[in-house]
Structure formats: structure tokens, C-alpha cells
Amino acid sequence: MKKIFLSFFLILFSLLIFSQDGESPKVTAMFYNTDLIEALNEISLQTGITILTDQYVSGLVTVDFVEMYLEKALDIMLIPGGFAYKKIDENVYFVGLPDPKSHNFLNLAELEIISLNHNHPS
């Protein structure tokens, strides 16, 4: 049982390590008390990725990135302010407030239909 668990853990760890796409853009930037929109625009210019934001995205950011993957950088910048992002297209990301009352919530949400199986054991 221990070997099975260890094998499963190693496979999972390998998948996580190699799931970072080598083609994914990396960010190298330093921001000190910079407007969040301004920082996102700078990252957009550096990576060539379009980053769209809704009207609720605001705040200041202080962070230093050195060769960090784009999505990890977005996590670090956005999560403290309660914001989220979603990859819309290969070169387009949307940043907004993950609040169902927000007008742009559907741009962040994902729709998934789950079939329920109501078979009860006899």
C-alpha cells in the first residue's frame, strides 16, 4: 500500500512540475506602490498577452518578479485584492471581481453540466 501511495505521489508531482508549458510567457518586473491596472498593462506589454479588466479592478501593488510564469505572477498580484483571472483565448486574459453580482461575472465563471445518477442500492 505504501508503494502504491508513493508511486501515485511521484506521478502527481511529475505532472505538476511538467505541466508548466515551456512556451508560457515569463514576467520580470518590479512594482512599488504601483496602480494595479498600470502593473497589468506593463505585464501585458512585456509578454504580448492582452489583459482585459473590469471596472472593479483597482488598488496598489508592490511586488518583484524575476522570470516568473505569467499565471503565477497574476495569482500573486490579484488574489490579495480578491480578484481573479480567466484565460479567454491563447493570448487574452480577463481580470475581474469574482462576485455573482458583478456585470462581468460570466467572463470569469465556467459553466459545467453534471449528470446526476440517482441509483439507490437495493
H-only helix segments in 1-122: 2-18, 36-47, 70-78, 105-108
**Residuewise pLDDT in 10s, the chain (122 residues):** 555 544 444 454 444 444 444 567 999 999 999 999 999 999 999 999 999 999 889 999 999 999 999 999 999 999 999 999 999 989 999 999 988 887 888 778 887 888 888 777 65
Give the position of cell 508549458. Answer: 21
- Is residue 38 in a domain? yes
- Is residue 6 in a domain? no
The per-residue pLDDT for 118 is 78
Query: Nine-digit cell at 87?
Result: 484565460
The per-residue pLDDT for 106 is 75
- Is residue 4 in a domain? no
- Is residue 90 in a domain? yes
Domain count, the chain: 1
Give the position of cell 479588466. Answer: 53
Range of the domain at 80: 19-104
The CATH number that applies at residue 35 is: 3.55.50.30
Neighbouring CB atoms inside 10 A of 122's CB total 3
- Is residue 84 in a domain? yes
Sign, CA torsion 67/19/75/36? positive
106 φ, ψ to 5°?
-65, -20
The per-residue pLDDT for 76 is 95
